[in-house]
């Protein structure tokens, strides 16, 4: 059994260890002591500082290894070259690996061979830095020569910033010098390659999605390269020159480029495969297991055949998953369903751990790898998939999959109800999901005060006023007095008023003015307000509550798959139309080929049909734009809303709705209300009867509003006495 030493024991080495085991190797994970997953995955552990080539050579000789390699890690590059040369193994030479491990030596070698790269100066002191700055226009780049990724690398726009960052760069490096480089303002991209016995076996240029920080750093890669026809020959020439300039051989190659004005420049390269899913990208594109190919290369086996002849050239992309919020993780919400195009969707964070706002690769929370028929389709799917991932952090409103259960049949239809009213915050309801997503967005925007809109019957105002109270942040309510008759105190009004909400009253035509007044009031008190609907005209945040119910649609689909039951109709109360819009966004991006059999039917409780359809269509367009998703069909054809059961408008209902509320409570134990759910349930019954729908599976989305049920309890049972 061949012994393979793998430099590093982090999560990036796990696929390499597993590939080596599949090929029958005895795997040895080399690293300093620590809680690294590679130690458990490997057959043996070699404790050594992989940044110390001599120490690793000594350990490799003790263990009598047959091969050495790594993936996605720069730290052990020099050690790989030293071990390969000392033990006469397949791999880069000691000199080549050393050049790849030091940015100064690398750049010097590149320039010597005429490789297109940014101008640079080696800096030992501040005095040298002062003189060097005369040679470059701003901005400039300061680089530590021996660090991985973006560590010790800073963009500097002024002399003052340069001197400040010089201290940070020198603190990051173990050398007594650093690099000052010209800043080339362009778009970064990469090339993966492999060389064996002096022959380059393949080159795969790839697009890079960059995270913009002190310098752009990759968080995603994709193929095919978008400008291959224009830049392909130049990329091939510069990659080839760069590989031979360093003398790399018998190793994978990872090369970073930047392009500007039709010209490509080498940033840096190294003799190992790339991180952030690049090995998986190569595997999918060529239809091979690239990790196994890396192992075979290290073992000295010929691997040229894996890149010859007809290959799939499958479009694919990889994406680092990251958080835009900071806190202690309780749960990752992943509403994505299993799909053939998702190669990997995994998370490397666990409950109880801290997640940080993304700044560099150490803040990653997972990765996505997917394939498709074309790169544009992959990019569209990426947007869909990322939209269905969110985090539950300590202090957030908790969510969970609400139960779906059967109730009494209606007109020969099998009826089920999804109990959003059981969500565990402030008497539940669909607005709990709205509130969670609004508050997450508020945190992302750095706001510290809340402006809500509604009236004292409003479930959303009840929930958000409590959430603000719990967080200790001020909450103002824009109160439209034309919305509903508030002459009678409701249970919601008791709860809202108890939360010390500051009220800004207005008529329907004065809403934007009242929003501005609320903003000015909070700003004047030193706060940064967040209005739940966006700008003063109520535009900009449509996607937030819609995402809550696009995710809930996925939750419903997961239930259907699990229970082998399909819903032909989904009914719900539709007031502001946000919940229905979100469900439709989920339906329109559903990959289920039978989705045309399903109808989402909103029973309007406030708007006429024409206006409701316009609002839903506007919402879907806003969502599509925000999430960078193109709906595969015309959304308008999928909108179904009925205004036949308005009963005089919002907040008004007749005796038949009251009868429905009573009968549903007595037969199925559900609490409905006359403003939303009771009217919607009555409308559902009438719709099924009027349209002669029978023998179907019907889901009623119970959007909640328990306090409103108790508001009506006296009237519902006014004629009933004790025992």
Whichever domain contains 372, its CATH number is 3.30.470.20
Please count the structural domains in the chain. 5
In a domain, 302, yes or no: no
Residue 647: predicted pLDDT: 80
Calculate mean pLDDT across residues 473-483: 92
Residue 722 pLDDT level (bands cut at 50, 70, 90):
very low
User: Looking at 66, 89, 112, which one is the last position of a domain?
Assistant: 89
By mean pLDDT, which of 168-177, 475-484, 608-617 is the weakest? Answer: 475-484
Phi, psi of 688 (to 5 degrees): -60, -40
Residue 270: predicted pLDDT: 97
CB 566 within 8 A of CB 556: no
CB 671 within 8 A of CB 704: no
Q: Residues 71, 108: one domain?
A: no
| Distance between CA atoms of residues 173 and 186, nearest Å | 26
CB 420 within 8 A of CB 402: yes
Q: Residues 159, 107: one domain?
A: yes
Structure tokens at 416: 């089920």
3-state helix/strand/coil string of 599-654 = EEEEEECCCCHHHHHHHHHHHHHHHHHHHCCCCCCCHHHHCEEECCCCCCCCCCCC
Residue 290 pLDDT level (bands cut at 50, 70, 90):
very high
In a domain, 57, yes or no: yes
Three-state SS at 277: coil
Structure tokens at 493: 């009004």
Max CA separation in the chain (angstroms): 99
| Distance between CA atoms of residues 358 and 8, nearest Å | 23
- Check residues 384 and 216 and name the one with the higher pLDDT: 384
By mean pLDDT, which of 190-194, 433-437, 597-601 is the weakest? Answer: 597-601
Which positions ≥6 away from 470 have C-beta within 8 Å?
none
Residue 714: predicted pLDDT: 84
CB 653 within 8 A of CB 679: yes
Q: Residues 145, 53: one domain?
A: no
Q: Residues 488, 571: one domain?
A: no
Residue 719: predicted pLDDT: 62
Q: Residues 266, 193: one domain?
A: yes
User: Looking at 507, 531, 555, which one is the last position of a domain?
Assistant: 531
User: Looking at 59, 89, 119, which one is the last position of a domain?
Assistant: 89
Angle value at C-alpha 152, between 124 and 241, nearest 5 degrees: 80
Q: What is the pLDDT of residues 648-682, one digit of tens each?
A: 777 678 889 999 999 999 999 999 999 999 999 99
Three-state SS at 716: helix
Question: Residue 633 to residues 584, 624, 639, 684: CA-CA distances in angstroms?
Answer: 12, 12, 12, 26
In a domain, 244, yes or no: yes
Q: Residues 549, 657: one domain?
A: yes
Q: Residues 79, 113: one domain?
A: no
By mean pLDDT, which of 26-35, 78-87, 149-158 is the weakest? Answer: 149-158
Full domain range(s) for residue 452: 447-531
Residue 488 pLDDT level (bands cut at 50, 70, 90):
confident
Calculate mean pLDDT across residues 223-242: 98
| Distance between CA atoms of residues 492 and 676, nearest Å | 14
Q: Residues 485, 526: one domain?
A: yes
In a domain, 304, yes or no: no
Residue 723 pLDDT level (bands cut at 50, 70, 90):
very low
Q: Is the dihedral of CA 370, 374, 375, 376 positive or negative?
A: negative
Q: What is the pLDDT of residues 505-518, one digit of tens each?
A: 999 899 999 999 99
Residue 486 has pLDDT above 80, yes or no: no
Q: For the CA atoms of the chain, what is the radius of gyration? A: 31
Residue 554 has pLDDT above 60, yes or no: yes
In a domain, 429, yes or no: no
Residue 182 pLDDT level (bands cut at 50, 70, 90):
very high
Q: What is the pLDDT of residues 395-427, one digit of tens each?
A: 999 999 999 999 999 999 999 999 999 999 999
By mean pLDDT, which of 214-223, 280-289, 385-394, 617-626 is the weakest? Answer: 214-223
| Distance between CA atoms of residues 36 and 46, nearest Å | 12
Backbone region of residue 277 per phi and psi (left: phi > 0; alpha: psi in -120 to 50; beta: other values): left
Angle between helix 677-690 and helix 655-668 axes, rounded to 10 deg: 90
In a domain, 595, yes or no: yes
| Distance between CA atoms of residues 379 and 318, nearest Å | 10
Residue 720 pLDDT level (bands cut at 50, 70, 90):
low
- Which residue, among 278, 298, 282, has the nearest Cα to 290 in the 3D structure? 282
By mean pLDDT, which of 258-267, 541-550, 586-595, 598-607 is the weakest? Answer: 586-595
Q: Residues 265, 320: one domain?
A: no
Q: What is the CATH number of the domain that holds 25?
A: 3.40.50.20
In a domain, 721, yes or no: no
Q: What is the CATH number of the domain that holds 471?
A: 3.40.50.1100
Residue 485 has pLDDT above 70, yes or no: no
| Distance between CA atoms of residues 313 and 147, nearest Å | 34
Q: Which residues sit opposite 329 in a β-bridge?
A: 393
Q: Residues 176, 284: one domain?
A: yes
Three-state SS at 704: coil
Q: Residues 359, 460: one domain?
A: no
In a domain, 574, yes or no: yes
Q: Residues 457, 488: one domain?
A: yes
CA atoms within 13 A on the CB side of 544: 24
Percent of the chain predicted with pLDDT > 90:
89
């Amino acid at each position: 059994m061949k012994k393979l030493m793998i430099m590093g024991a982090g999560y990036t080495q796990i696929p390499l260890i597993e590939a080596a085991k599949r090929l029958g190797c005895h795997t040895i994970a080399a690293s300093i002591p620590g809680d690294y997953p590679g130690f458990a995955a490997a057959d043996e552990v070699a404790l050594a500082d992989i940044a110390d080539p001599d120490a690793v050579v000594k350990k490799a000789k003790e263990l009598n290894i047959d091969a050495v390699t790594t993936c996605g890690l720069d730290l052990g590059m020099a050690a790989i070259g030293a071990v390969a040369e000392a033990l006469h193994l397949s791999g880069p030479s000691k000199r080549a690996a050393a050049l790849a491990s030091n940015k100064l030596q690398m750049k010097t070698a590149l320039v010597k061979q005429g490789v297109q790269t940014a101008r640079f100066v080696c800096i030992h002191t501040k005095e040298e830095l002062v003189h060097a700055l005369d040679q470059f226009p701003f901005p400039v780049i300061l680089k530590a020569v021996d660090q991985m990724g973006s560590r010790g690398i800073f963009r500097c726009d002024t002399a003052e910033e340069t001197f400040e960052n010089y201290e940070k760069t020198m603190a990051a490096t173990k050398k007594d010098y650093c690099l000052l480089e010209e800043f080339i303002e362009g778009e970064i991209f990469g090339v993966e390659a492999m060389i064996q016995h002096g022959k380059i076996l393949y080159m795969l240029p790839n697009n890079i999605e960059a995270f913009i920080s002190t310098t752009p750093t990759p968080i995603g890669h994709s193929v095919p390269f978008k400008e291959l026809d224009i830049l392909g020959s130049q990329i091939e020439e510069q990659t080839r020159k760069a590989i031979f300039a360093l003398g790399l051989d018998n190793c994978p190659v990872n090369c970073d480029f930047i392009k500007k004005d039709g010209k490509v420049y080498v940033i840096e390269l190294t003799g190992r495969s790339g991180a952030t899913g690049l090995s998986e990208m190569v595997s999918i594109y060529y239809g091979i297991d690239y990790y196994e190919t890396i192992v075979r290369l290290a073992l000295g086996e010929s691997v040229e055949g894996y890149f010859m002849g007809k290959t799939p050239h499958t479009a694919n992309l990889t994406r680092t998953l990251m958080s835009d919020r900071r806190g202690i993780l309780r749960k990752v919400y992943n509403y994505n369903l299993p799909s053939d195009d998702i190669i990997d969707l995994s998370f490397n964070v666990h409950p109880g751990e801290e997640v940080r706002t993304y700044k560099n690769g150490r803040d990653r929370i997972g990765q996505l790898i997917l394939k498709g028929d074309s790169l544009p389709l992959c990019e569209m799917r990426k947007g869909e998939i990322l939209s269905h991932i969110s985090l539950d952090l300590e202090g957030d409103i908790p969510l969970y999959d609400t139960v779906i259960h059967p109730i009494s049949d209606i007109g020969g239809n099998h009826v089920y109800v999804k109990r959003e009213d059981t969500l565990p915050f402030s008497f539940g309801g669909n607005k709990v999901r709205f509130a969670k997503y609004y508050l997450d967005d508020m945190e992302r925007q750095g706001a510290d005060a809340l402006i809500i809109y509604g009236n004292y019957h409003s479930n959303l105002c009840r929930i958000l006023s409590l959430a603000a109270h719990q967080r200790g942040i001020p909450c103002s309510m824009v109160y439209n007095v034309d919305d509903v008759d508030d002459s009678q105190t409701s249970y919601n009004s008791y709860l809202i008023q108890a939360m010390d909400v500051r009220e800004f009253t207005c008529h329907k035509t004065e809403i934007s003015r009242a929003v501005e007044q609320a903003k000015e009031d909070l700003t004047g008190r030193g706060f940064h307000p967040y209005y739940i609907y966006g700008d003063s005209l109520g535009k900009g945040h449509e996607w937030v509550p819609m995402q809550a119910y696009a995710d809930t649609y996925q939750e419903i689909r997961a239930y259907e798959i699990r229970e082998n039951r399909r819903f032909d109709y989904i009914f719900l109360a539709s007031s502001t139309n946000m919940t229905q819009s979100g469900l439709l966004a989920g339906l329109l991006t559903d990959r289920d080929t039978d989705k045309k059999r399903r109808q989402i039917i909103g029973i309007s409780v406030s708007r006429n049909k024409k206006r409701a359809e316009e609002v839903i269509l506007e919402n879907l367009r806003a969502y599509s734009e925000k999430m960078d998703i193109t709906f595969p069909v015309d959304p308008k054809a999928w909108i179904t809303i009925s205004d036949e059961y308005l009963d005089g408008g919002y907040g008004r209902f007749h005796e038949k709705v009251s009868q429905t509320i009573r009968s549903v409570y007595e037969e199925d134990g559900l609490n409905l209300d006359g403003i939303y759910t009771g009217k919607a349930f009555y409308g559902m019954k009438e719709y099924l009867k009027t349209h002669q729908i029978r023998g179907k599976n019907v889901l009623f989305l119970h959007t909640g509003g328990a306090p409103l049920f108790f508001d009506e309890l006296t009237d519902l049972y006014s004629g009933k006495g004790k025992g």
